[in-house]
A and B are shown apart, each in its own frame.
Chain A
Amino acid sequence: MNVLSAVLASLIFFGSLILIFSERINRSIVAIAGGALMVGLGKIFHFYSEEDALAAMDFNTLGLLLGMMILVAMLEPTGFFEYLAVLAARASKGKQVRLFTLLGIITTVLSMFLDNVTTVVLVAPVTLLICEIIGVSAIPYLVAEALLSNTGGVSTLIGDPPNVLIGSAAGLSFNDFLIYSLPIVFFCWLGAFALLRYVFKKELSKRPRRVKAVMKLNPAQTLNQPEAARRILIVLGAAILMFFVHHVLRVSPSLVALSAAALALVWVQPDIHETLKKIEWSVLLFFAALFVMVGGLEHAGVLEVVVGLFRGASGVSPVFFGVMIIWIVAALSAVVDNIPITVALIPVIRGLGESGMDIGPLWWALAFGAGFGGNGTIIGSTANIIVANLSDKTRTPITAKLWLRRGLPVMLITCAISSILFALFYPLF
């Protein structure tokens, strides 16, 4: 290993991380600049080339994210999300606990298959509407939607960007997530839900002032494009079925997602410019640039050093090591973006595997830590930031302090439940 290359690559990577976490400059701008610098200096000092950088990009992750983003971008204007929320409101008959449960379940199930951020962006405004017309505080609902969508997202391969990354790097299939992650997340979800009911019991026990208003919401009028919604949901359903068998057919999840997106585009033929505008290109570029940077670190030999450090710690029992990963990654994810943490830890875990360690269980520990950690603080995940921004416009905004009182316990209980189940069922992983 060339020391100069390692130092340069580390400076670029950790300098970029610090800038990203300081949130002074947009994370995608930092990552693109860092990626370009890594390749440029890599060429000059002969530790990294353009070909290496291309090979370092995980196109399976990028393709899966892009495909799902296109499907959601098409589904969004159809009014389907409002439709579901309005149905929930009517089914609740304005009873708070029932409404809380129904909206919580809808958000969870949607975020298992769609991006958490999109789910919250689309469900939260209707939630605010329902709460305002029946005359109750929207805070319990908004906080619960963000926390439960973060929690639900951990259960599937496509529910959460860190899972997409981990699944792609570790070669885990959609079904692997259903077998190993979903059952654990189910119990974590129950714990989180029960805890949310408890911490918000004062707000939820208040009688709504105007219960009847929800019965006058007309679900049919929320569906602006019923035919388009029907077609996209059929394609989405077919894609989910394909995810169940993608490993048997030897098809990558990204091909499934991109094919579904292509099929939906052909069948619905939306205004392509409007659809593409809704794609979060900045997120995709952020991923691509992070891959390039981490590739540079790997080629400069920095990750070998980090792997060596971890190997020193692996003298402890493997179960304890896994639980430690859950909590360390969760603590980090609570205060900073969990995507760069995941991207940086993947090659480290892979390196530990190459050194002879059984890393199968560690992938799950990483997924649980990255997923549940985001619940801890108001800035822990994008979904949290979205509901907080929405509530800023109301008379009772969600404050960082309120989130610590209500959200941090949820992070702790989900991490605790997942740690216990992880330790109990360790031999099965």
Chain B
Amino acid sequence: MNISDCMKRNVVSISVKATVREAAAIFVRKHVGVLPVVDKSDKPVGVVGLRDLLSLELPVFVNFIADVDYVHDFGAVEDTHPSAKTLNQSVKAVMKDAVVVDEDCGLLRAYALMLQHNLHDITVVDKNGKLSGIASRVDVGISILNAWAKIK
């Protein structure tokens, strides 16, 4: 079994020309956690996750203080939103490099890559390098566990 057997083929993606604001709107409309960013020939050039957008609203101190247990009220931060300028910038400013695998990639290799790069979803491309699917940790993990049923 390989990744193409468990990936989702109906992928919502976003153009590299889109803005952060447009990306946020697609997340809301499609209720997804990750969006591959593609160029005009549908090849992945990056990936933007819910996390990348949310970090625009997180307070700065979260980057420096690992333990926020003692902060019981985030106060003014709770109603601070990103500026219009931040929202109108290109999605390229917040996207991460795409980690892609081919359709014939094995499940364990795909899972190991996700662990290594701390990804919840991995982008799959076809022979021509075009976006063909996306697989989550759950998709990959369930397929691996599914094979255990056959172990006698």
Contact = CB atoms under 8 A, between A and B. Distances in A.
Interface of A: 79, 82, 86, 125-126, 128-129, 132-135, 208-210, 212-214, 216-222, 224, 390, 393-395
Given A82-B65, A219-B70, 7 more contacts: A86-B70, A133-B73, A135-B80, A209-B76, A210-B73, A212-B73, A221-B70
B89 to A, nearest CB: 14
Interface string B39-70: 00000000000000000000111011101011
Task: Enumerate the 8 nearest inter-chain pairs by beta-carbon distance, A residue then B residue, closest first.
Answer: A213-B75, A135-B76, A133-B75, A221-B70, A210-B75, A125-B64, A129-B61, A216-B73
Contacts of B67: 79, 222, 224
B116 to A, nearest CB: 24
Contacts of A224: 67
Contacts of B83: 395
A224 B70 CA distance: 11
Interface of B: 59-61, 63-65, 67, 69-77, 80, 83
Contacts of B77: 132-133, 135
B63 A126 contact: no
A176 B71 CA distance: 43
Contact of B63 (A79, A212, A393, A395): A393
A390 B65 CA distance: 12
Contacts of A129: 59, 61, 65, 71
A224 B69 CA distance: 11
A212 B69 contact: no
Given A132-B60, A394-B60, A216 B72 contact: yes
Contacts of A125: 61, 64-65
A82 B65 CA distance: 10
Contact of A213 (B60, B64, B76, B80): B76
A132 B61 contact: yes
A105 to B, nearest CB: 22
23 contacts: A79-B67, A86-B70, A126-B65, A128-B60, A128-B61, A132-B59, A132-B61, A132-B75, A132-B76, A133-B73, A133-B76, A135-B75, A210-B73, A212-B73, A212-B75, A213-B74, A213-B76, A216-B72, A217-B70, A218-B70, A393-B60, A393-B64, A394-B60
Interface centre among A125, A133, A212, A214 (most CB of B within 10 A): A133
Contact of B64 (A128, A219, A221): A128
Contacts of A135: 75-77, 80
Contacts of B74: 133, 213
A144 to B, nearest CB: 18
Nearest to B82: A395
A214 B72 CA distance: 9
A89 B61 CA distance: 15
